[in-house]
C-alpha cells in the first residue's frame, strides 16, 4: 500500500496533524481501534515507546489490530506511526521552542523572580499530587533491599549521584549504574535479582538507556522505583512504584527542584528508619577524616556538628 504520508511529512508531523487526524476519524473506528485511539490521545508520551504488541496488550487488543490501525491512519506500518508519536514528543520538548517561548514572555530583569516562583510552584504541585502511600512504599522497598541500584543519565545524573551519596550513609550496598555505554550498564545490572531495588530517574527528554535498564530489572523480577514527571512517562511501564515530581518549565533548563525535594524526603525518611546506623557511620567518618586529615578541622567540625546535632534532635523527638 502506498503511504499517504511522505517521509518529510512524517518528520514535520506536529501535535495537531496526528492527534487531530485521530480525533476526526474516531467515528469510523472499530471498538478495538477506538481503544487504541483513546490511549494514544491521552498517553502518546508512553505510546511512542511501545511496540505494536505492547500497545495492543496495554489496551486489550491484538498486535494485528494495532498494525491495521497505523495503516488506516495512512502509514506504511506501525513503525511509521511510532515515529510520528515520537515526533510529537520531540516537538513538545524542543529546546529551541522553549528558548523562544521564554524570551518572549520573560523580561531580563524578572528572570530571577520568575524562575524561583516557577520552582516553588513545581514543589507545591508535586506536594499536592504525590501519594503518601506510594512514597511510603518506596521507603519500605529501599529499606529492605539487598542491593540498591541507581540509574540516572544526562541531566538526571546529578540527582542520581546525590541520592547515591546519602544512601551510602544508610545502606551498605548502593551501586551507581553509570557510563555512556548501554552494554556496560547492563553488565553492571547483570546480578540484579528479586531481592534488589532499582531506582530509575528520568525526565523529558526521557532516556532510552534508563528505560532499557528498568525493563531489564523488571524482567529479572527486581523491584523498580521510578522518579519521573508523569503517570504517562514511559518510566512507569516497568516500575512498581512511581514517585511523580513536576519538572516542566518554559526554558532551555527544566526545573529539577521538585525531584530533588522528593529525593531529599526519601533520604530523610530512610535516616529516620536507620538513625542509629547513620549516626554511627558519621562518627566513624569523622574519625577517619581526622586521622587522615582529609579536610581542615574547621570544615569537618562545622559539617559534622551541624549534621550530628540535627540527627540527634530528630532522634530525641521520635
Confidence of residue 5 (pLDDT cuts 50, 70, 90): very low
Rounded to the nearest integer, the mean pLDDT of the chain is 80
Which residue range(s) make up the domain with 181?
108-272
Whether 260 and 112 map to the same domain: the answer is yes
Predicted confidence at residue 318, as pLDDT, reads 55
Q: What is the rounded CA–CA span in Å between residue 9 and residue 73?
A: 13
Query: Which of the four pLDDT bands, split at 50, 70 and 90, describes residue 270?
Result: very high
Does position 8 have pLDDT exceeding 60, yes or no?
Answer: no
Segment 139-160 mean pLDDT: 93
CB atoms within 10 A of CB 169: 19
Q: Indicate the pLDDT class of residue 7, thresholds 50, 70 and 90.
A: very low
Same domain as 57, residue 142: no
Assigned domain for 174 exists: yes
- Asked whether residue 49 is domain-assigned, the answer is yes
| Together in a domain, 79 and 145 | no
| Higher per-residue confidence, 167 vs 23 | 167
- Residue 179 pLDDT more than 80? no
| Residue 306, domain member (yes or no) | yes
- 258 and 281 belong to one structural domain: no
Domain end (from 63, 92, 121): 92
Confidence of residue 298 (pLDDT cuts 50, 70, 90): low
| 28 and 87 together in one domain | yes
- Together in a domain, 148 and 55: no
Residue 183, Cα to own-chain centre: how many angstroms? 21
Q: Are residues 257 and 303 in the same domain?
A: no
Res 284: pLDDT: 82
Average pLDDT for residues 54-63, to the nearest whole number? 88
Q: Each residue of 74-109: pLDDT tens digit?
A: 888 888 888 888 777 666 555 445 544 454 555 667
Indicate if 221 and 302 belong to the same structural domain: no
Instruction: Write down which residue in 92, 117, 151 finishes a domain.
Output: 92
Q: Which long-range contacts (CB under 8 A, 24 or more apart) does 5-13 make?
A: 5/74, 5/75, 5/80, 5/84, 10/80, 10/83, 10/84, 10/87, 11/87, 13/84, 13/87, 13/88, 13/91
**Of 257, 272, 287, which closes a domain?**
272
Question: Could you give the CA distance from residue 245 to residue 36 in angstroms, rounded to a whole number?
Answer: 27
Rg (CA), the chain: 23
248 with 290, same domain: the answer is no
Residue 55 shares a structural domain with residue 190: no
Residues 262 and 121 in one domain: yes
Length of the chain equals 318
Q: Give the other-Cβ count within 10 Å of 122's Cβ.
A: 23
pLDDT digits (tens, 9 = 90+) for 117-131: 888 888 998 998 899
Lowest average pLDDT, out of 56-65, 128-137, 214-223, 303-312, goes to 303-312
Of 56-60, 89-93, 187-191, 225-229, the range with the lowest mean pLDDT is 89-93
Span of 28-32, 183-187, 248-252 with lowest mean pLDDT: 248-252
End-to-end CA distance of the chain: give it in Å, rounded. Answer: 69
Residues 163, 32 share a domain? no
Whether residue 282 is predicted with pLDDT greater than 90 in this model: the reply is no
Q: Is 175 exposed, middle or buried (0-12, 13-18, 19+ CB in 10 A)?
A: middle
- Number of structural domains found in the chain: 3
Q: Is residue 97 part of a domain?
A: no
Quickly state the pLDDT bin for 194 (edges 50, 70, 90).
very high
Amino acid at each position: 500500500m502506498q503511504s499517504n504520508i511522505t517521509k518529510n511529512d512524517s518528520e514535520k508531523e506536529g501535535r495537531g496533524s496526528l492527534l487531530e487526524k485521530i480525533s476526526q476519524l474516531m467515528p469510523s473506528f472499530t471498538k478495538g481501534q477506538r481503544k487504541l485511539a483513546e490511549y494514544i490521545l491521552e498517553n502518546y508520551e508512553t505510546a511512542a515507546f511501545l511496540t505494536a504488541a505492547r500497545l495492543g496488550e496495554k489496551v486489550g487488543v491484538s498486535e494485528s489490530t494495532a498494525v491495521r490501525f497505523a495503516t488506516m491512519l495512512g502509514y506504511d506500518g506501525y513503525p511509521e506511526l511510532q515515529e510520528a508519536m515520537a515526533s510529537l514528543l520531540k516537538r513538545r520538548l524542543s529546546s529551541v521552542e522553549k528558548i523562544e517561548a521564554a524570551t518572549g514572555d520573560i523580561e531580563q530583569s524578572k528572570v530571577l523572580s520568575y524562575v524561583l516562583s516557577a520552582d516553588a510552584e513545581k514543589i507545591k504541585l508535586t506536594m499536592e499530587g504525590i501519594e503518601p502511600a506510594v512514597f511510603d512504599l518506596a521507603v519500605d522497598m529501599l529499606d529492605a533491599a539487598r542491593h540498591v541500584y541507581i540509574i540516572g543519565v544526562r541531566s538526571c545524573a546529578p540527582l542520581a549521584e546525590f541520592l547515591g551519596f546519602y544512601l551510602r550513609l544508610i545502606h551498605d550496598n548502593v551501586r551507581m549504574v553509570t557510563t555512556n555505554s548501554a552494554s556496560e550498564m547492563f553488565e553492571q545490572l547483570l546480578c540484579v535479582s528479586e531481592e534488589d531495588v532499582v531506582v530509575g530517574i528520568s525526565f523529558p527528554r526521557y532516556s532510552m538507556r534508563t528505560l532499557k535498564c528498568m525493563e531489564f530489572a523488571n524482567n529479572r523480577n527486581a523491584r523498580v522505583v521510578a522518579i519521573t514527571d508523569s503517570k504517562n512517562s514511559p518510566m512507569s511501564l516497568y516500575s512498581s512504584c512511581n514517585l511523580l515530581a513536576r519538572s516542566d518549565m518554559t526554558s532551555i533548563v527544566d526545573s529539577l527542584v521538585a525531584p530533588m525535594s522528593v529525593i531529599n524526603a526519601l533520604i530523610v525518611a530512610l535516616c529516620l528508619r536507620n538513625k542509629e546506623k547513620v549516626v554511627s557511620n558519621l562518627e566513624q567518618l569523622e574519625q577517619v577524616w581526622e586521622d587522615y586529615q582529609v579536610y581542615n578541622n574547621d570544615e569537618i567540625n562545622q559539617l559534622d556538628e551541624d549534621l550530628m546535632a540535627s540527627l540527634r534532635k530528630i532522634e530525641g523527638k521520635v
